[in-house]
Amino acid sequence: MWSRPGDSRTHRCNLRRLYSVPAFRGTQGTMLSMTNLPVDGTPLAADPLTRAVLEIDEYSAGLGWDQPARLFALVDTAKLRAQEPSLAAQLGIDDSTTTSLTPVEQDEIPAGVPLDEFLATIAWPDAVTGCALTVERLMLPPSAEDSEPAGMDEAQLAKWVAKHPDRQEVRMTVAVLRDGRRESALRLREKDSTSEVLTGSALVPGLAEALATTFEA
């Protein structure tokens, strides 16, 4: 990540830090090199951005549910291998690696800071091609909108959704590139299988827009 000039809330690190392998609960928490076959044998998509999103979804699925939000930088694999060969080796990237985008997990998102406020403090160095975020949320089907009480504030709405009998837990993985391309993946907790993951560029437009602003000057 890179700091926005003049913003005292910014989260600072340099390019070397961006490419480093951060610690996560005593283990390496960054993304490792992945094959094009998830654990259930379902081939991942050929599109580089969709593939990166599905890789992050698969990685997050391996960590289980009830996890905090996670932020990733998306870097050009070939450039990473050429500019940082030792770090590429730590990530398991070599000449046989076929992915064109490598996700690199960033520092933990500060607890207690609203996600939109945190994202507003971020800007990326030029070496970063895109970014992605994975976050768990509760969602309701469209049919539940008619029963939503009027006049609720954000906190009241969250409590109402949490108690709704039709609520579903979902993990959202959203990625954006500097050139404007977007992709998302949704995994329901009750359908926790790679074959049940939904993908699409407009599934979570609000979050995608928030991520896109991190690339604005």
Which tens digit of pLDDT belongs to each residue from 91-112? 778 777 777 898 989 988 888 8
Question: Residue type at 41?
Answer: G
Question: Which residues does residue 171 pair with via DSSP β-bridges, in sequence order?
Answer: 136, 187
Q: Is residue 127 over pLDDT 70?
A: yes
pLDDT given for residue 142 in this prediction: 67
pLDDT 10s digits, 68-95: 999 999 999 888 888 888 877 887 787 7
What six digits make up the tokens of 68? 């905090």
Banded model confidence at residue 209, pLDDT cuts 50, 70, 90: very high
The pTM is what? 0.73
Q: Is residue 39 over pLDDT 60?
A: no
Question: Which residues does residue 71 pair with via DSSP β-bridges, in sequence order?
Answer: 133
CA dist 90 → 29, 80, 107 (Å): 12, 11, 17
Q: Look-up: residue for tokens 């009027």? A: 150
pLDDT given for residue 44 in this prediction: 52
Percent of the chain with pLDDT over 90: 36
Q: Average per-residue pLDDT in the chain?
A: 76
